[in-house]
Amino acid sequence: MARDGISEVSVRAITEDAGANVAAINYHFGGKDELVQALLTAKFELLDVTVNDMLSRLAEAWSKENASLELDDVVRVYLAALVKLGVNSRRNALDPFIPLIQRASIEREVVLRNAQNLQNEGISKLVSMIAESSGRPVTMGPAFYEMLGLMYSGGVAMMHAMVSAGDEKSRETLREALEAFVLSGVRSFIEKAYGD
């Protein structure tokens, strides 16, 4: 589905590849859209746990230094969590869930939206730490969802660049340039969306 498109892959093809009965998807999930949603939900939950762990470590480090959180560090943690889950460094390839999310955003936007629980602990912590580090009234809502989409899109662009770069130095240069681009975009977005 990530490679060929969700619409192009039949239930029969999925069950044949899995060595399962053709009725298994309907029995266990209710249909192909629900299967896709379950796959995406599992990955988003893993991302949330990773974001939560990494943000907790960042907050602890800043607390030990008795310093204020820096917005750039908070955003970097989110991007690092995305890359950690989205890039298989041993194979230098994207995890299939990244192109599946991209396919779902084009073909099954409702399924993608339903797969994300933006009330989970990691995302909630991300909101509060962005608010604290920016000094702006950032809350869960439409503006935050847009900003999260900006960060996610930037992270995916970063992943694509990293796996297509020829050598380690090129990968690091691309990662740094794209990270700087996303950080600048987030700072600008916060300024415009949340004002002074």
Sign of CA dihedral 58, 164, 109, 30: negative
CA–CA distance, 84 with 183 (Å, rounded to integer): 18
Q: pTM for the full model? A: 0.85
Among 79, 74, 181, which residue's Cα sits nearest to residue 138? 74
Among 75, 89, 85, 79, which residue's Cα sits nearest to residue 186? 75
pLDDT in tens, 109-161: 888 888 988 889 999 999 999 999 999 999 988 999 899 988 988 888 888 88
Give residue limits of the domains in the chain. Answer: 32-194
Give the CA dihedral 147, 152, 153, 155, nearest 10 degrees.
130
Mean pLDDT of 52-79: 92
Please tell me the least confidently modeled range out of 5-14, 38-47, 48-57, 166-175: 166-175
Mean pLDDT of 158-181: 84
- Contact at 8 Å (CB) between 48 and 121? yes
Q: What is the CATH number of domain 32-194?
A: 1.10.357
CA–CA distance, 135 with 145 (Å, rounded to integer): 18
Is 90 exceeded by the pLDDT of residue 100? Answer: no
- Contact at 8 Å (CB) between 91 and 110? no
Is 80 exceeded by the pLDDT of residue 165? Answer: no
Alpha helices in the chain (DSSP H): 11-18, 24-28, 32-64, 71-86, 97-107, 109-115, 121-134, 142-164, 168-194
- Contact at 8 Å (CB) between 177 and 77? no
CA–CA distance, 108 with 36 (Å, rounded to integer): 9
pLDDT value for 168: 80
